[in-house]
Amino acid sequence: MSKVSQDILLQRAEKEFLQGDYATALRSYGLILKDYPSLDEAKVGAYLSDLGEENAEEAQALFDYYQMIKSEKKNAVEIIHSLIDSLDTTKESIRELLEAPMEEQVEYGDGIRYSDFLALVKSRGSFKKTFEDIMFSTKVVITDKDEFIDFVTKLANEGFDEMALGYLDATASLFGNDQEVLALYNVVQGMKK
């Protein structure tokens, strides 16, 4: 393959990529790499074409960025590889989160995790004041038994006895005959006296 045909193939592959025909662009870049395995333009094109089949928007943005920096930076290819690796790592993290057991997948849309609520309490210095501020506008999302026990105990300690009993009654069936949870009834009753 002569230099002219290499340039023509690169132009054709780039055109295919820009038109969104990522599978054809990947083949074209692959043919170039077969004869010129160290050609950076073809390597980046192949990586981005492969990415384009999954996410066209990301691939096009990275391609535009590469075109911008390739003449200015000697390490442009390394920068693109680093960005692609970063995207892959982020996608893997998201995939792991989505594949987590259902009990770990909690919707926090209009709520606040209990750990975040406790951090807010710590920064404000008062459980009662913090809870009063959020109790009508935000849910406190509790994800395990220990958080539940801690929450109900703190409610009872701060004078929210009826609310603590309401939580206990509403969740009694979830915990069955769990002695720690049942003992909370005594804690709440003891606070009422």
117-127 residue pLDDT tens:
898 889 888 88
Write down the pTM of the prediction.
Answer: 0.45
CA angle in degrees (0–180, nearest 5) for 34-40-44 = 90
In angstroms, the CA 99 to CA 109 distance is 19
126-171 residue pLDDT tens:
888 888 777 766 788 888 888 888 998 998 888 888 888 888 888 7
Alpha helices, DSSP H, located in 70-126 = 76-98, 114-124
Do the Cβ atoms of 139 and 112 come closer than 8 Å?
Answer: yes
In angstroms, the CA 145 to CA 179 distance is 12
63-114 residue pLDDT tens:
888 888 887 777 888 887 777 776 666 556 545 544 555 444 444 455 788 8
